[in-house]
Amino acid sequence: MPTSTTRFKIGGMTCSACSAAITNALESTEGVTSASVSVVTETGMVIHDDTAVSVEKLKEVIEDCGFDVVTSDQDSGDDETDFLTKDDEFQRWKLIFIKTIACGIPILLLHHGSSLFKNGWILPNMILQLVLATYLEFWVGSPFLVKFSNFIRSGFKAGSMDVLVAISTMLSYVFSATSIIVTIINKSNQSAHILFDAQVMIISFVSFGKMLESKAKGSTTSALSALISLKPSQCTIFTEYESTTEDAVRDFPTKIVPTEIVQPGDVVLVHAGDKIPADGVVVFGESEIDESMLTGESAPVYKTVGDSVYGGTINGVSTFHFKITTTTNTVLQQIISLVKNAQLSKAPITKYADFLAAKFVPAVLLLAFITFISWLMICLSIPDKLPAIFKNDVNGKLFTCLKLSISVVVVACPCALGLAAPTAVMVGTGVAALNGLLIKGGEVLETAAKTRIVLFDKTGTLTTGEMSVVNCKPMTKLSDSDWWKLIGTVESNSEHPIGVALTKSAKQNLGLTFEGDQFGTLIEDSKVLVGLGIKALITLDGVKYEVMVGNEKLVNTEKMSSDYTVAHVMINGDYSGYIELSDTVQSNASDVIRYLQLRGYVVGMVTGDNRGASMKVAQEVGISPHNVFYEVSPIHKDDVVSDLQSRLGGSNNVTVAFVGDGINDAPALSTADVGIAISSGTDVAINAADIVIMSDLQGVVNALEVSRATFNRIKMNFAWAMIYNVVMLPFAMGCFLPWDILLPPVAASGAMMFSSLSVVLNSLLLKRWKAPKIEPKETFSTDLETGNINDFNLKESSLEEFNDFKNKTKKLRSLISKINQKRTNAAQSYELVATDVS
């Protein structure tokens, strides 16, 4: 079934109940495979069968739920930035708030000053209040009534906080209007029982809260907005360009054009401080480029002729020219796409919130009805033993029962519950992106936060991947030059670090100094043997040779005792020698490994290399020998991950992360609970990975730490939202009236506003997250209390031993937290002493 993905911008959502209603409606539509809707970004993504359902039909489904919708490609980048920052939403609620205050102040003055009016002014007073309240309810408060109408038309499925606001204000209005009409009919000299003040305060508090909330929600998307705004609106291109000599290009004509119209092949003039409009290759000049928004690395990167530059990065102090290679799938566009998808993805913990939100509005309405009937029956049953509020209210017992039910409707807040996870995921993934981490969704954040085992690939991950030949021994009748020509030819098309190193060494031994130099051979039938090596049929001086280069398994030879990576050579079926290669360990690898181990992670290494080379690297970085899996081919690395997952209790008990290069390690990355790929800097859309790191190994620590910080924030938000509703609803229902504790509608609306706003603000605190500083050779004196931090045996330990280890590491993390706090306090004390001395 051919499927396509369509994105929508959806206006009018207020809480997770809205997004859940839209999602359910879309997923129940024939031809829709899946749908995801975010209340924070007000966007939706639908995967559907083009032949079964059209985009227009999908828009109709969303509109039938009562929301405005446009396809997301209808707006420019500037429009999208405005949309994300919620400027329009902020202005809309600001206008509603101002109108409410303009109507509300006269209503409050007339209502609370009614005792000052003489009998002849009572009727005009009430009529004026009714006119102002009518305008307030049906014009100013129309957004709430529209949501209530949608709630009715959807069969009571599209409930939201706005529905509760509409019901509470309508109850206040209808009761007050009816009371005025009855008073007029009866020609009474007494003022009617009016609740217009509650209506005013509810709409005022809610609109003010929504105004602040929209501003806060706009801040949660600031990282994504910053990425989108990196693309400049215009750039300078050469209209003619034939030479790269400095004198020639000075006279070539240029023109300033919108960035949207540039095409591959155009040559762009980039001045100092300019933003680069698209991806390309430098053709003239040199400069230093700020790529921090893409990689998280603050140091500028030197670029000269032949180097790649990326759209959205910022030029330094020099002018250069570059030729555009792509405008449609730039690195920046890939990053923005990944971040958007991540922010639409929901963490598993939100399923509980979505379930509660869907049932929330009907449940609250039922509670309000029960509250009204219960207190009404109590008033009729024991009129002499009622709480003081019923005796002191001059408007009567029915009036008081109604106020209690309105308080229940107003104080309940599904928004806090619905915003708990999306706002935290939004800020968390945005902060991660600004630190060079592309985390693909809320589910990844939640899983990464629970990670206990981290497995690393060796070559290109713990090491630089830039291998060099340290020793060779030809064992053949061929001359050394012919031997190297055959090896260089068979490896010339390989992208593996070993192949690159052997090709380079062959050229050096043959005196071939230029990159384009050939070996004077003809190659055919080249084939990569996964996990073994490479073979090809090569013609040299008119003679055909079958050449194979690879490990011991490929050539079926005895294992060598070597601390280096060994490549064996077979020519025409005969063993023809070997080559030893070394690799350099990443400069911060040992510090990263130590940091993880000290915080309770079990660290292991999985590699296809031989035992000697693997143990040498493991010793350098600090990984225990019993946690090293060597001679494992790329297609079997996932078996190591699967074995750990099944042996240690499955995903409910153990979470395994695998860190690799995203190409050879794709099976392991896919099998792991969290696949972490260290990108080359351009390939950001590594499909097999859950997290893509744009910088170095420090990014592994950063990814795990920001995931834990985000998930902890989600749990805090949920705890606050649940506690708020559990505590406030009994107050609103009058459970504490016997002790003269009352929550009137006005106070209830203020509490409701504070609840949802506090959740958003709590999520925004994630913007203060900073990447941890990894101390070189960090150490803590905790071994005596917790045991050796590196004593868990990944190869042999059982489920019971793993559970014991988890319990032990909880104590370890607690101790480290206390030590870090002491270090912080000591540093602060030192600063104070230094200040006093100075």
CATH of the domain at 301: 2.70.150.10
- The terminus-to-terminus CA distance of the chain in angstroms comes to 74
Contact 393, 736 (CB under 8 A): no
For the residues 619-637, what does the mean pLDDT come to? 87
Higher pLDDT, 774 or 536: 536
Size of the chain in residues: 838
Tell me, rounded to whole angstroms, the distance of Cα 549 from its chain centroid: 43
Instruction: At 514, list the tokens.
Output: 């230029």
Tell me, what DSSP letter sits at residue 757? H
Q: Which two tokens stand for residue 73?
A: 């490609």
Look-up: residue for tokens 């001045």? 271
What pLDDT, on a 0 to 100 scale, did the predictor assign at position 14? 67
Tokens of 621: 């970085």
CATH number of domain containing 504: 3.40.1110.10
- Say what percent of the chain tops pLDDT 70: 79
User: What CA–CA distance (Å, rounded) separates 109 from 106?
Assistant: 5
Looking at 536, 563, 582, the residue that finishes a domain is 582
Strands of 565-571's sheet in order across: 468-474, 574-582, 565-571, 543-550, 533-540, 522-529
Q: Which residues contact 730 (CB under 8 A, 6 or more apart)?
A: 736
Q: What is the pLDDT of residue 270?
A: 92
Residue 480 lies in a domain: yes
In a domain, 273, yes or no: yes
Q: Report strand pairing: 314-315 vs 287-290.
A: antiparallel
- Helices (H) and strands (E) counted in the chain, each on its own, are 28, 26
Give me the pLDDT at residue 787, please.
44
β-bridge mates for residue 578, sequence order: 473, 568
pLDDT score recorded for residue 833: 46
Buried b (16+ CB within 10 A) or exposed e, 403-415: bbbbbbbbbbbbb
Residue pair 357/23 in contact by the 8 Å Cβ criterion: no
pLDDT at 290: 85
Is residue 361 included in any domain, yes or no?
A: no
- Written as one string, the DSSP assignment of 631-691 is S--GGGHHHHHHHHHHHTT-TTT--EEEEE-SSTTHHHHHHSSEEEEE--SS----TT-SE
Asked, for residue 534, whether it belongs to a domain, the answer is yes
Give dist(CA 700, CA 702) in Å, integer: 5
What pLDDT is recorded for position 682? 46
Question: Phi/psi at 237 (nearest 5 deg)?
Answer: -120, 155
Top-confidence residue, 531 or 726: 726
**Cβ-based neighbour number of residue 380 at 10 Å:** 9
Residue 241 lies in a domain: yes
**pLDDT computed for residue 246 by the predictor:** 53
Question: In which band, very low, low, confident or very high, does the pLDDT at 681 lie, cut at 50, 70 and 90?
Answer: very low
Q: What is the mean pLDDT of residues 549-564?
A: 78
pLDDT tier, 738 (very low <50, low <70, confident <90, very high otherwise): confident
Cβ 759 vs Cβ 696: under 8 Å: no
Q: What does the pLDDT average to over 8-31? A: 79
Q: Which pLDDT score is estimated for 783?
A: 45
Q: Are strands 301-303 and 287-290 parallel, antiparallel or unpaired?
A: antiparallel
CA–CA dist 546, 529 (Å, integer): 14
Strand partners, 36: 45
Residue 84 confidence class, pLDDT cut points 50, 70, 90: low
So what's the pLDDT on residue 373? 92
Confidence of residue 704 (pLDDT cuts 50, 70, 90): very high
Q: Evaluate whether residue 422 is within a structural domain.
A: no
User: Hey, CA dihedral for 51, 55, 58, 64, is it positive or negative?
Assistant: negative
Span 382-398, mean pLDDT?
Answer: 75
* Residues with a known catalytic role: 457
Point out the least confidently predicted range of 170-184, 358-372, 732-746, 811-825. 811-825
The contacts of residue 135 (CB under 8 Å, 6+ apart) are 103
Q: How confident is the model at residue 824 (pLDDT cuts 50, 70, 90)?
A: low
pTM: 0.71
**Category of 604 on φ-ψ map: left (φ > 0), alpha (ψ -120 to 50) or beta:** beta
* The pLDDT of residue 456: 94
> CA 512, CA 470: separation in Å to the nearest integer?
19
Q: How confident is the model at residue 784 (pLDDT cuts 50, 70, 90)?
A: very low
310-325 mean pLDDT: 89
Rounded CA-CA distance 309/284 in Å is 12
Domain boundary among 336, 367, 383: 336
Collapsing DSSP states into helix, strand and coil, what is residue 275? strand
Which pLDDT does position 774 carry in this prediction? Answer: 82
Pick the range with the lowest mean pLDDT from 552-566, 587-601, 808-822. Answer: 808-822
Listed residues 557, 582, 607: the one ending a domain: 582
Contact 567, 583 (CB under 8 A): no
Distance of CA 608 to the CA centre of its chain: 33
User: In the numeric block, which tokens belong to residue 670?
Assistant: 């896919």
Given pLDDT bands bounded at 50, 70 and 90, which one contains residue 836?
Answer: very low
User: For residue 54, what are the CA distances in angstroms to 3, 10, 46, 64?
Assistant: 11, 17, 11, 15
pLDDT for residue 592? 92
Tell me which DSSP letter residue 630 carries: -
Token reading at 469: 């030949």
Neighbour-count burial of 109, counting CB atoms closer than 10 A to its CB (0-12 exposed, 13-18 middle, 19+ buried): exposed
621 falls within a domain: no
245 within a domain of the structure (yes/no) = yes
Q: Residue 685: what pLDDT?
A: 45
pLDDT digits (tens, 9 = 90+) for 646-661: 888 777 788 899 998 7
Per-residue pLDDT band at 114 (split at 50, 70, 90): low
**pLDDT value at residue 560:** 72
- What's the helix, strand, coil split of the chain in %, to 5? 55, 15, 30
Task: Tell me the CA distances in angstroms from 730 to 406, 724, 725, 743, 791, one per residue in order.
Answer: 13, 11, 9, 10, 52
Asked whether the beta carbons of 223 and 433 are under 8 A apart, the reply is: yes
Pick from 614, 615, 621: nearest CA to 592: 621
Please report, as a single letter, which amino acid is at residue 43.
T
The answer to whether 716 and 762 are in contact (CB under 8 A) is yes
| Number of domains making up the chain | 3
Residues 6 or more apart whose CB falls under 8 angstroms from that of 432 comprise 438, 439, 702, 703, 706
- Residue 184 has what pLDDT? 82
Phi, psi of 618 (to 5 degrees): -60, -40
If you search the block for the tokens 């305008």, which residue do you land on? Answer: 135
Q: Are 425 and 445 in contact (CB under 8 A)?
A: yes
Give the pLDDT band of residue 454 (cuts 50, 70, 90): very high
Nearest C-alpha neighbor of 311 from the set 299, 329, 337: 329
- For residue 477, the one-letter residue type is K
Q: Give dist(CA 602, CA 802) in Å, integer.
A: 10
Most confident residue range from 65-74, 169-178, 346-355, 776-785: 169-178
DSSP string, 118-137: -HHHHHHHHHHHHHHHHHII
Q: How far apart are CA 683 and CA 691, in angstroms?
A: 12
**Which CATH number characterizes residue 31's domain?**
3.30.70.100
Query: What was the pLDDT predicted at 531?
Result: 74
> Which residues span the domain enclosing 52?
3-59
Q: Give the model confidence (pLDDT) of 348-381 as tens digits.
A: 666 666 666 667 778 888 888 999 899 889 888 8
What are 289-302's pLDDT values in tens digits? 888 766 656 668 88
Q: Which residue has the higher pLDDT, 252 or 480?
A: 480
pLDDT at residue 189 in the model: 66
| Cβ(455)–Cβ(601) below 8 Å | no
Report whether 128 contacts 180 (CB < 8 A).
Answer: no
Over residues 5-30, the mean pLDDT reads 79
- Cβ within 8 Å of residue 816, ≥6 positions away: 598, 599, 780, 782
Q: Which of 20-24, 416-420, 463-467 has the lowest mean pLDDT?
A: 416-420
Phi, psi for 447 (deg, rounded to 5):
-70, -45
| Average pLDDT, rounded, for the chain | 80
Q: What is the pLDDT of residue 297?
A: 62
